[in-house]
Amino acid sequence: MKTQVVIIGSGPAGLLLSEILHRHGVESVVLERSSREHVLSRIRAGVLESTTVDVLRQNGLAARMDVEGHPHDGMRIAWAGRDSFFVDTASTLGRRFMVYGQTSIQEDLYAAADRRGQPVLTEVSDVVLHDFDGAPGARPFVTCVQQGQALRIDCEFIAGCDGFHGVSRRSIPETVRREYEKVYPFGWLGVMARVKPLPDITYVNNPRGFALASYRNEKLSRFYIQVALDDQLDAWPDERFWPELKSRFPAEMAQAIEEGPTIEKSIAPLRSFVSEPMRYGALYLCGDAAHIVPPTGAKGLNLAVSDVYYLSRALGRWYGKGDASLLDGYSETALRRVWSSVRTSWYLTNLLHRFPHFSAFDQKAQEHELDYLKSSHFAQAALAEQYAGLPFE
């Protein structure tokens, strides 16, 4: 086989890239390790920055989002013993964000790929990247195995969109890669429940630990609570989950939380991770393949979209005008936005969680940070700008 761009991974980054490249007249083949059913069943965050919404709209991917998604004007922060406050992105910036589950985006992307006959090879194994180091005369290609058959795909570029555990990042020599990592001493238990959500996305800092109430639709809520890293799912039956969740919210909000059937539960650790550079020769990394953020602030999908925006623009410029300047600048441009969101999600994680090893000093400083945020219009405006998302360069 032969194509212009081999895209490894059919998560949001890989499928969105194939869609935008197609609109630029650039052809691609997507390789996916799992089955389509598996990819479509994953539940992740659901807050879309206004720039993400714009990218989806500009590329004909927003029809369902514009009907089923829920625009929000801001988010709420609460903590034990004090009144909550609303960080208003609409009035401070004139920008709203959209609550629309990543599972739905993944469905929309697969449907769009089907409509245009995009080659997506699923359940492939043994993906190996070859001759992509940019040496003069080198012609990149990717090999893999599908249904027992060995495949070779010749290409001009490789896009590594294969998530944190993928093969692409690890194919860059260790002497070139620089990795930055922070692992947090707790995880999040995430629960989907068929109950009416609270009106606002609400983040809570409580002595019992962090909690978050989020939104899917009028009858579907997503909740999270901070749990110990070694906690197991079977330690969290519904009879334990609901009272623990409510105990972390201020009383009047706890009263408004409806209990009901839970339809999914999972525990995930929290980590910040960045691998630099995001380009090596003909290989370009996008999304979780290059960076991970803790879910506080829901930046993961938004960063995947901004990487894809920059890479598709750069490849469009190369194929349209023979101009490589945006490709050459890809890593630096993408990383500026990555670090901005890495910083925001690290800040929110530090602000809102209870850290097992916090000293009395750390605790006081955290509480005063929250007091400052609550009382300062300027501090809220800075957070609102980060939360709703910065414009693209």
> Has 387 been annotated as catalytic?
yes
Please spell the DSSP secondary structure of 16-53, one letter per residue: HHHHHHHHTT--EEEE-SS-HHHHHH-----EE-HHHH
Nearer to ligand PHB, 45 or 129 (CB): 45
- Binds ligand APR by CB under 6 A, chosen from 13, 56, 65, 153: 13
- 12-23 and 300-321 are packed helices; what angle lies between their axes, rounded to 10 degrees? 30
The only residue of 51, 92, 171, 214 in contact with ligand PHB, by rule CB under 6 A: 214
Q: Decide: is 33 part of the binding site for ligand APR (CB under 6 A).
A: yes
Q: Quick one: 22 or 44, whose CB is closer to ligand PHB?
A: 44
Integer Rg of the chain from CA: 21
Q: CA-to-CA distance for 215 and 99, rounded, in angstroms?
A: 7
Q: Would you say 127 or 253 has its CB closer to ligand APR?
A: 127
Q: Is 207 a catalytic site residue?
A: no
Written as six digits, the tokens of 258 are 């409806």
> How far is the C-alpha of 102 from the C-alpha of 106, rounded, in Å?
6
Catalytic residue among 294, 295, 309, 353: 295
| Cα–Cα distance, 279 to 172 (Å, whole number) | 9
Residue 265, interface with ligand PHB (CB under 6 A)?
A: no
Residue number with CB closer to ligand PHB (151 or 256): 256
Q: Does 46 sit near ligand PHB (CB under 6 A)?
A: yes
**Which residues, numbered 158-197, are part of the site for ligand APR (CB under 6 A)?**
161-163, 165-167
Q: Identify residues 145-164 at the interface with ligand APR (CB under 6 A).
A: 161-163
Is 295 among the residues that bind ligand PHB (CB under 6 A)?
yes
Q: Looking at 102, 205, 221, 344, which residue binds ligand APR (CB under 6 A)?
A: 102
Told to judge if 71 belongs to the known catalytic residues of this protein, a careful annotator would answer no
Complex with ligand APR: residue 181 or 252, whichever CB lies closer: 181
Task: Give the whole-angstrom CA distance, residue 24 versus residue 251.
Answer: 53
Cβ proximity to ligand PHB: between 131 and 385 the closer is 385
3-state secondary structure of 270: strand
Q: Least distance to ligand APR from the beta carbon of 227, Å? A: 19
Q: How far is CA 52 from CA 10, 100, 166, 167, 335, in A?
A: 18, 11, 24, 26, 17
> Which one among 5, 17, 144, 201 touches ligand PHB, defined by CB under 6 A?
201
Query: Largest alpha-carbon pair distance within the chain?
Result: 67
DSSP letter (8 states) at residue 174? T
Whole-number Å distance between alpha carbons of 213 and 203: 7
Sheet holding 178-193, edge to edge: 85-88, 74-79, 202-205, 211-217, 220-227, 178-193, 262-276, 291-292
How many whole angstroms separate alpha carbon 124 and alpha carbon 143? 10
Does position 44 interact with ligand APR (CB under 6 A)? The reply is yes
Using an 8 Å Cβ cutoff, are 212 and 360 in contact? no
Task: Look at the block and give the residue holding tokens 């101009």.
Answer: 323
Catalytic residue among 22, 265, 291, 299: 299
Nearest to 318 by CA among 24, 17, 58: 24
Collapsing DSSP to helix, strand or coil, 203 comes out as strand
Asked if 222 interacts with ligand PHB (CB under 6 A), we say: yes
Q: Is 287 in the site for ligand APR (CB under 6 A)?
A: yes
72 is catalytic: yes
- Report the residue from 289, 298, 304, 308 that binds ligand PHB according to the rule CB under 6 A: 298
Decide if 100 is catalytic. Answer: no
Residue 222 Cβ, how far from ligand PHB at the closest point, in Å?
4
Q: Catalytic residues, which ones?
A: 72, 203, 295, 299, 387
> Which residues make up the interface to ligand PHB (CB under 6 A)?
45-47, 201, 212, 214, 222, 295-298
Q: Which residues bind ligand APR (CB under 6 A)?
A: 8-14, 31-34, 39, 44, 102, 124, 127, 161-163, 165-167, 287-289, 300-301, 304
